[in-house]
Structure 1
Amino acid sequence: MASITVHNSLEPGAPVPFVPKEAGKVSWYACGPTVYDSSHLGHARTYVSTDIIRRIMMHYFGLKVTFVMNITDIDDKIIIKARRKRLLDLEKKKVYSPEQTYTLGVEAFLGYAKSSLPLLQPAGAPMLNTNNYLERRDVAYGRVLAGGTLSGDGKPSDAEAKLKMHIANMDSAAQALREGGVFEGAEEILLPYLDSLYKETIDTSDQTIFTDLARRMENEFTGDMDALNVLRPDITTRVTEYVPQIVTFIERVVEKGFAYEANGSVYFDIAAFENAGNTYARLRPESRNDKALQEEGEGSLSKSVDGKRNLGDFALWKKSKPGEPYWPSQWGNGRPGWHIECSVMASDRLGEQMDIHSGGIDLAFPHHDNELAQSEAFFHQSDMGEHRWVKYFFHLGHLSIAGSKMSKSLKNFQTIQDALATAYTARNIRIVFLMSRWNDGVEISPEMRKQADSWEAAISNFFMNVRARLVETGSTENGTKDLSPEDNVAQQLATKLEQAKKDLDAALCNSFDTFTAMQVISRIIRDANIYMNESNANIHIVEGIARWVTKIVGILGLDSNAKPPYDGLGWSSSNVTAASNVDPKTAVLPYAAVFSRVVDEIRALKLSEPSLQRVVDQQSPESEFSQLEMSGEKVPENLALPYIRAVSRLRDELRRTVSSASLDASTKPTVLGLADRIRDYDLADLGVQLDDQVDKPSLIKFVPASRLIVAREEKAALIAEKALQKEQARKAREKVEEEKWEKARLVPQDMFKGDDKYRAWDADGIPSILADGSELPKSQVKKLKKDWERQKKLHEEYLSKFVTRP
């Protein structure tokens, strides 16, 4: 196995050698999602990038990976969302008068402002209401709304993103209240208000309130990952399925003196852990006293320190309060703390030490640091020194937009489903992440999208051109070997391919550096494209490059239909079904229909060209297709080739016929129109592009039909636009000409008559005296005479053109 180095959060700095516990095998635990809402592109960043590393380990380095991922299906966020939804449903069933409904909305409006946007209610100011809300909002938070910070200094961050979210909720609520609504438009402010009033009334012995939401969201998450071509975990664990094991785990930590019970909750004792020779906050030591992060990790217990020995001590078991689900334990009814779940599930599946633990960078503290502490406390043996629960911690850089982390809680996200439906394909998304290093942040920007789109287009065009050249030559074998020693250019390209393989290997060995790997692929494709334009290019060396690139993009997960060992040439379009599901006869029906129709139309022309009739008679794609079917061929494009080649030959002969001297001139437009229709419609609608070549058969390329149709429509629109511009120019010329001759009708002697600026004119009608009785200045007389001469010439031209002289 190649020598792999990895970035390890436990050893910050340069990549360190990667040495699994057992040679050739890797045990890996990944923090999965908390399933309370739809997954967004920030989740895609974590799980797609994790999938890329996993695929490289498995399919490039040949490692056997056991991949375990958890589903957090009970958590403060799930509890709050599910409970609030239940309360809202109950509230909607109550009978309220319009006045009572409005009062409810106003109380929720004021409560939300007080807790989330306190600057809306300055001290001593009249009570906030929907009428003064907009003015108060702009005064208090105008800088944030304009894209700045609350203080006016620095760049906006998550804090400003959260303020914008709260403002958006208040905007919607204010509008709804002004229009007399509450339940439609004001839900975001109503939910926390109802929760504050009635959360303790919910009967949480019925845990389906919470688990139904979690199961629904988990299924949606799994669908999203499938759509992104993310491999499913080898093992999936869920918190609610591990509660008894979690209780047992905590009991052992307490027995060892590293945790204590207080008021029905159990807390990890950081001081006791460190006094025993262990290290706390090994991942983020600088964050151990970060109160905001600690509170985020503690959730519902974040405001209570009653019974804690130290402020930083974190909950292993949380006493359940009214409105929360619960499980029995020796400390009373409660539920697991956030961090303990991963420790128990990972240890159960992977033992007392795993090779890799991974998750988003925002989990490093407190989640992962607390996981490490409680797990190493569980396995601690006083005579064995400090236990190492995880060998390598991988933290994936998060996705940001406008400087803020993309997050469900900030509501500044685009869901995966929406992204795939409107702006991205699974391949687009993966390329974006491949073009950055997995442990770096990714900023969504138009330039980033442009670079990714350009890379994808270059790969697609390369595959398309190589396959077209192979179809043109009738070659199906990879002939990269046995190059002629005299072919220096081909030998140089073969050498570049070997260097590309070494460079890519070095990149992937260097902490899975896909950023560099993508550049390596781009360079070898550029070199191959240059060589392919040589008149005597050896297509087989280029084919070898295409097959190598196919293997690499397959390993990286860029072809959802490809399977290891990723042999073949090219990647499938995003709408292609798996080849194994294709019925050969069904696959070729559209192509066979086009061939049959073209043959019938050519015969209907009844042309006297013997060569055209001969080409028609020579085509027998059915027999070639039968041979392919018998060989077990399943790739739709390969199955369709006999029919496509036959249609292409017929069209080439039609084009040759158009230039034949024996063809009647009146028939040529019909023949040319048929040839163009075959290319632009019949084949384009099937995803086949024909490139015309001089004195050579047309080049056949497989391109997504949608691209060809868009290109056709754009071409038609351009032609229509040019025709419109031409017509507008013609009308403009006609108008200028019409105005010219209308002006020319005027005899020069009359052109200045009737102008009240003048009192007297000479015999030619040129003004001599101004209206005030003074003589015209010589300069003005000179100008008027020039104007008169031009009109005289124009009028004479008019007379000669339009007036018949006797």
Structure 2
Amino acid sequence: MRSIVAARPFFSSLKLRPLVLASRPPRFFRSYSTPNMASITVHNSLKPGAPVPFVPKADGKISWYACGPTTYDLSHLGHARNYLSNDIIRRIFQDYFGYEVNFVMNYTDVDDKIIIKARRQRLLELEKEKSYTPEQLRELVSKAFQAYAQSNLALLVAEGQPTLDENNYQGRKDAAYGKVLAGGTLTGEGRPGDPEAKIKMHLNNMDSAAKCLQTSSGFDGAEDILLPYLDSLYKETIDTSDQTIFTDLTQRMEKAFNDDMTALNVLEPTAVTRVTEYVPQIVSFVEQIIQKGFAYEADGSVYFDIGAFEKAGNTYARLRPESRNDKALQEEGEGSLSKSSGGQKKRDADFALWKRSKPGEPYWPSPWGQGRPGWHIECSVMASDKLGDNMDIHSGGIDLAFPHHDNELAQSEAYFHQCGNGEHTWVNYFLHMGHLSIAGSKMSKSLKNFQTIQDALATTYTARSMRIVFLMGRWNDGVEISGDMRKQADSWENTLDNFFTNIKAKVAEADVPTDGVKDLSLTGAGSTLAEDLEQAKKDLDAALRNSFDTPSAMQVILRLVRNANIYMNDKATSSDLQSVEAVARWVTKIVGIFGLDATATPPYNGLGWGSASAAAAANTDPRTAAKPYAAAYERVKADVQALNLSATSIQSALEQSPESEFAEAEKSGERDMEKLAIPYLRATSRLRDELRAIVPSLGSESQAKQAVLALSDRIRDYDLTDLGVQLDDQIDKPSLIKFVPAARLIAAREEKASLLAEKARQKEEARRAREKAEEEKWAKAKVPPQEMFKNDPKYTEWDADGLPTKLAEGNEAVPKSQAKKLKKDWDRQKKLHDEYLSKFGGKA
């Protein structure tokens, strides 16, 4: 038997001495003298309720195991919620509180989901290689259609109904599940949740298959119902001695996951483990549990004996005691391939440590025959190998609390259990991340109600905006996707983005040293902002110590930035740049700690968050990095020279070369793209400022004035905008140079052009409407009042002025009330006609 990956020697790094370790009391409630490491509290699932004091077992160090992904499909936003939350807390521990964190994460690369998906993909490939006639293919899809309904949508195939097919499917679907599709529940009570989401998912699969049958399009669209059907027919024919059908999938999905985490700026784990690298260790771990009397073998499978475990004085289901008898969760924890996987269990709640492999499943040798690890045992073995018999933190999504984490705890504490020493503490703090939900249901692959991280980053979010969304909710609370949540996050980001842009521009304008503001010992107006900063530091510290309350921390930052903006924009105040810069540098440090700047590294002493282009330029030769800005300057300079302007100020600006300033920056070793670009941008902006200054001296209608204005606008709106540079005009001061993402500036330019075009279109439409109204007015005015009623068929007789006197209907005189109205109309027409005669002299 060949394993997927060669395993390392059992517990190569564990160095366990169970008797000694088990008898040592955990250093769980030790106090610390170091101020920054004191009084941190955290929500601990092992102690439900209010946050409890966090005290790691080693001074200044934290051991942490996080449940990693099951590598069978692309990761979605629900995974992003979990791993970003882990990353945020880890960064706060490391970069704010100063802990050294040993962060271990696993990849589950052998699992029921992996086995099923890899095997089914292979079966579908083999099926597509067969030579089917159209009739045979249709029969195959039809059988799969009926089997899928039988397994997942029982109401469609109730006893006594005709055979289900694509023609009667729609009617039966509406009758059986119409209420669910309309937003109701299966029971008719409460709000829809996971069961309803699962029904909708199955119906979507059936919809696609029905369409496939109606259009005779072969396999296309029917894969979701075909895969389980083919698996039921041929799964035992797959040769699993060649495990590449599984590893090809897991290695591809592991790479995709890592790419997603890199894109989201998630720190790499200190160490990574994979189940397939630990199979021999898992076998030995299970043997030890059997030897201690806490597990038993049954026909090739091994089960954990909950009764024996509790009889020895241990507690089972410590995280979710209310769920210990939940059969649905127990079955989910055992996996969809676990039915009839071995002999009779002693009790339903006993869970598998080792599963006998059936035909069509991967297998490894063991004392109990060929089999594979149970789901829960994997993490116990890998975490214990890396972190020993006791760890500070174990984390994962809230949906893993039971049975996965509860079973992990039980089997690990059974492994390390020593008779007479009481219950063993394997984990001190369990952190469970709240899951992401959509329309009341947990976002998950099994429900197909998810958006992949790749798709989300391509269409909806940036890495920063996604992280902000999660920072604005508590890590242990559920998050419901909503438009309001996105708007709030976007507003927060835009406020900080504008603040950073403005302060960086002000610092560059002042040309002050940029090595950071060390202290705030300010007087006058700046002292108020200094007080705001000190209060913000205290408030943020209190928030992070309160179980990493990032929503409160984000509000602290927002309030401080708004105060700084008010102070910076207060025209009545002589703005103290140092105080505002100090605020900006502190905010920069905090957003760096939160992982909101992918270009930043500890200790985050920069000013504002960086951009992708700036990060790329940092690894580029300075002259190359500055080349686009130098080229823009040379182009502008040539165009100004071509205007042949005689103004002394223009000639002086043309003579001031930016090269010496750039050479000085280059010589100093500067690699910041913005600082390398500034000499050329200042020179370009100076030329434009001088052009604008001479405009009043040019003739109001002169060609020179029009040329100067056109060039000035082009420099601002195109030459610099396309480089991601915004110029803000200032009275009696040089224009303020701001670095803004080019895409944003270009979008604003296009939006402005679109608005101007729309305004021009509306103006033209209004002009045409006025012309038409004028035309119609004079066409009407041309008719003499004596003639205006003559062609009206309602009347048969008129007086000398052309006013009607007799009605056509009934040959009666025009009533007085009507005659009075007609006279008013006649008077208005006479006035209008007189105006016409006066204007046109009676000519057409």
User: Structure 2-normalised TM-score?
Assistant: 0.94
Flag the 1:382–1:294 CA change in 2: closer, same or farther, 3 A.
Answer: same
Partner of 1:454 in structure 2? 491
1:19-418 residue pairs with structure 2 within 5 A? 19-299=55-335, 300-302=337-339, 306-418=343-455
For residue 539 of structure 1, the aligned residue among 577, 587, 590 is 577
Write the deviation string for residues 519-550 of structure 1: whole angstroms up to 9, x where unpaired: 11001101100100123110110000000010
How far is 1:774 from its partner?
1.3
Per-residue Cα deviation, 1:267-304 (whole angstroms, up to 9, x for no partner): 00000000000000000000000000000011122466
The answer to whether the Cα contact below 8 Å between 1:360 and 1:398 also exists between their aligned partners in 2 is yes
1:490 counterpart (526, 532, 543): 526
Question: What SS does the corresponding residue of 2:468 show, helix, strand or coil?
Answer: helix
Name 1:611's counterpart in structure 2: 649
* 8 A contact 1:546–1:570 mirrored in 2: yes
**Pair 1:602 & 2:602 matched:** no
CA distance in 2, matches of 1:167, 1:561: 45
Which residue of structure 1 aligns with residue 708 of structure 2?
A: 671
Structure 1 residue 565: Cα displacement: 0.7
Structure 1 residue 156, shift from structure 2 partner: 0.9
Query: Which residue in 2 is equivalent to 1:792?
Result: 830
Distance apart, 1:754 and its partner CA: 2.4
Whole-Å separation in 2 of the counterparts to 1:543 and 1:69: 39
Q: Do the aligned partners of residues 378 and 480 (structure 1) sit closer, same or farther apart at CA in structure 2, a change above 3 Å counting?
A: closer
Is 1:2 the counterpart of 2:40? The answer is no
Q: Is the 8 A contact 1:490 1:538 kept in 2?
A: yes
Give, in whole Å, the separation in 2 of the partners of 1:456 and 1:529. 15
Distance 1:169 1:484 in 2: 67
2:723 aligned partner = 686
One-letter amino acid of the counterpart of residue 481, structure 2: I
* Amino acid across the alignment from 1:352: D
Whole-Å separation in 2 of the counterparts to 1:663 and 1:802: 38
Which secondary structure state, in structure 1, belongs to the residue aligned with residue 606 of structure 2?
coil
* Identity in percent: 69
Q: Which amino acid aligns with 1:97?
A: T
Q: Deviations over 1:67-126 (max 9, x none)?
A: 110000000000000000111111111111111100000000000001011111232221
- The 5 A counterparts of 1:692-711 are 692-711=729-748
Cα contact 1:466–1:543 (8 A) shared by 2: yes
Amino acid of the residue matched to residue 8 of structure 1? Answer: N
- Cα pair 1:493 1:527 within 8 Å, conserved: yes
Match of 1:301, SS state, is: coil
- 1:103 and 1:87 mapped to 2: Cα distance? 18
| Equivalences, count | 802
Does the CA-based 8 Å contact 1:295-1:303 persist in structure 2? no
Q: Tell me, in whole angstroms, the C-alpha distance in 2 between the residues paired with 1:466 and 1:248.
A: 61
Q: Deviations over 1:409-438 (max 9, x none)?
A: 111000000111111110011001100111
Please say if 1:555 is aligned against 2:593.
Answer: yes
Q: CA deviation at 1:744?
A: 1.1
Q: What is the deviation of 1:643?
A: 0.5
Which letter does structure 2 place at the counterpart of 1:796?
A: D
Residue 520 (structure 1) aligned with residue 556 (structure 2) = yes
**Residue 587 (structure 1) aligns with:** 625
- Alpha carbons of 1:703 and 1:130: their partners in 2 closer, same or farther (altered >3 Å)? same
| Alpha-carbon offset, residue 792 of structure 1 | 1.2
The reply on whether 1:746 has 2:801 as its aligned counterpart is: no
- For 1:274 and 1:73, the matched residues in 2 are separated by 31
After the TM superposition, which parts of structure 1 deviate over 6 Å for at least 4 consecutive aligned residues? Answer: none
Distance 1:328 1:357, change over 3 A: same
SS for the counterpart of 2:37 is: coil
Q: Distance in 1 between matches of 2:783 and 2:520?
A: 87
In structure 2, C-alpha distance between the alignment counterparts of 1:479 and 1:203, rounded to whole Å: 67
Please give the alpha-carbon distance, in whole angstroms, between the structure 2 residues aligned to 1:286 and 1:152: 25
Q: Which amino acid aligns with 1:564?
A: P
Q: Are 1:561 and 1:578, in contact at CA under 8 Å, matched by a contact in 2?
A: no
Contact 1:326–1:335 (CA under 8 A) maintained in structure 2: yes
2:755 to 692, 705, 718: 718
- Alignment-derived partner of residue 727 in structure 1: 764
CA-CA distance at 1:145 after TM superposition: 1.2
Separation in structure 2 between the aligned mates of residue 164 and residue 574 of structure 1, nearest angstrom: 41
Bigger mean CA offset, 526-535 vs 472-481: 472-481
SS of the residue corresponding to residue 45 of structure 1 reads: helix
Question: What residue is the counterpart of 2:811 in the other structure?
Answer: 773
Assess if the C-alpha contact under 8 Å between 1:657 and 1:663 holds in 2.
Answer: no
Matched residues in 2 for 1:376 and 1:733: separation? 87
Q: Distance in 2 between matches of 1:307 and 1:481?
A: 71
**Structure 1 residues 324 and 479, CA gap change in structure 2 (3 angstroms):** closer
Q: TM-score, with normalisation over the residues of structure 1?
A: 0.98
CA shift, 1:720, in A, is 0.4
**Conserved in 2, the CA contact under 8 Å of 1:480 and 1:543?**
no
CA gap of 1:482–1:177, structure 2 versus 1, over 3 A, is closer
| Residue identity in the other structure for 1:782 | K
SS at match of 2:597: coil
Which of 646, 652, 657 matches 1:620? 657
SS at match of 2:355: strand
Choose the corresponding residue for 1:632, options 666, 669, 686: 669
- Structure-2 residue corresponding to 1:657: 694
2:546 aligned partner, one-letter code: N
Q: Please tell me the residue identity of whatever aligns with 1:554.
A: G
Q: Quote the offset at 1:580 in angstroms.
A: 3.7
Taking the aligned partners of 1:211 and 1:221, their CA distance within structure 2 comes to: 15
Structure 1 distance, partners of 2:375, 2:842, is 103
**SS of alignment partner, residue 69 of structure 1:** strand
- Structure 1 window deviating more from structure 2 (283-292 vs 134-143): it is 134-143
Residue matched to 1:430: 467
Distance (Å, rounded) in 2 between the aligned partners of 1:377 and 1:302 = 25
State the one-letter code of the partner of 2:597. D
- C-alpha contact (below 8 Å) 2:698/2:705 kept by paired residues: no
Q: Which AA in structure 1 matches 2:620?
A: V
Cα distance in 1 between the residues matched to 2:351 and 2:720: 65
Distance 1:389 1:484, change over 3 A: closer
In structure 1, give the amino acid aligned to 2:187.
Answer: S
Aligned to 1:443: 480
> Contact 1:434–1:518 at 8 Å: present in 2 too?
yes
Q: Structure 1 stretch 53-62 or stretch 573-582: which is displaced more?
A: 573-582
Contact 2:299 2:342 in 1 (8 A): no
Of residues 464, 474, 484 in structure 1, which corresponds to 2:501?
A: 464
Letter in 2 for 1:100: Q
What's the secondary structure of 2:615's corresponding residue? Answer: coil
Give the conservation status (yes or no) of the 8 Å contact 2:617–2:625. no
Q: Distance between the aligned counterparts of 1:116 and 1:576, measured in 2? A: 53
8 A Cα contact 1:41 1:415, kept in partner:
yes
